[in-house]
Amino acid sequence: MAPALAVGALTLAVRPPAQGRSSGVRLDLPGACLLAVALACLVRTLVEIPETGWTAATALGLAAVAATGGAFAWHERRATSPLVPSSVLRSATVASALGILVAASASLFGALFVGTYFLQDVLALDPLQSGLRVLPLAVTMVLGAPVCAVLLRRWGLRGTAVAGMALLALGILLLSQLGRAPASPAISGCFLVLGAGFSAVMVTGTAVVVHHASVDTAGVAGGLQQTAMNVGPALGVAAATMLMTLTAPAGRPYGDGPHWTADAFASAMGPALMALAAVAVIGALPAARLPGRTAPVLHGHQR
């Protein structure tokens, strides 16, 4: 660890000589801080609502989200080098892809959060047994990437994105219908469908960012894609936590200890997963703004 830190410190300390003229683009630190505070307040409030209810603290948290979010939007409109350039968001194609990625990652990771506890707490499977049942998700995501490339050529961005979000919603709905003693193939089948849907969405989102962002904003669009893929899971897990606690049977959320009872968790799992499936369905709406099969793909140009 110490040698790695030393090398990193030397790398930061030694700066190469400036070459050419500076572009004048600077990191928007105030915008980054406002966005981070808004997201932190939102996640914190979503997690606290089930435990404390609607109190002054939760109301203050929502007010903080609104205030910092509004301040971020106001700052971005006036900043010389905004964190999110307006030219990127003015592209309906890129903005729609980012919205789809947030919804898809939120619904998937929220479902994985719930599914992990279902496998280990309700079905009493050990981590190895749980991992083997979830393995089809990873396999499908890897094998689905080249298949999705073919689908993009045949169906276009719009058709592939809609199909991916539909599969994602279907997988979550199937997971919500599992009983207290489901067969292993049924569990693995749910995760297989989830992996196929998310793979299609990821490939489509990446294709949009690569081919439909202008040369000047390609780096920003790629950064926004990664941001969407980090914000979505955080919101999905926070929403899943809130929904699970709110839908737990009254007086039976925790049993005799700090953990959920199997009956309480099984009862709360279905409504929470159905809500996450609805997020996937809503996330498919921006796909209608993506180009169809006949639209040409132009690398490095904004559509």
Q: Apex CA 234: angle with CA 229 and CA 235, to 5°?
A: 100
pLDDT block averages, 10 residues each, the chain of length 303 = 52 51 63 86 79 78 90 85 74 85 93 90 88 92 88 88 93 88 87 94 86 73 82 87 74 45 74 92 86 54 43
Query: What's the whole-model pTM score?
Result: 0.77
Question: Are the C-beta atoms of 241 and 50 separated by less than 8 Å?
Answer: yes
Q: Which long-range contacts (CB under 8 A, 24 or more apart) does 229-234 make?
A: 229/101, 229/105, 231/39, 231/102, 232/101, 232/102, 232/103, 232/104, 232/105, 232/106, 232/109, 233/105, 233/106, 233/108, 233/109, 233/110, 234/39, 234/43
Among 133, 136, 17, 31, CA closest to 77: 31
Domain boundaries, the chain: 29-83, 90-303
Question: Are the C-beta atoms of 169 and 200 separated by less than 8 Å?
Answer: no
Which tokens in the block code for residue 272?
A: 């929470």
Residue 8 confidence (pLDDT): 53
Among 171, 228, 173, CA closest to 195: 171
Which tokens in the block code for residue 239?
A: 């929403």
| Pairwise CA distance, residues 32 & 162, whole Å | 32
Please list the alpha-helical segments (H only) found in the chain: 2-13, 29-52, 56-78, 86-89, 92-117, 127-176, 184-212, 218-246, 262-283
Give the chain's length: 303
Specify the CATH number of the domain 90-303: 1.20.1250.20
Residue 299 confidence (pLDDT): 43
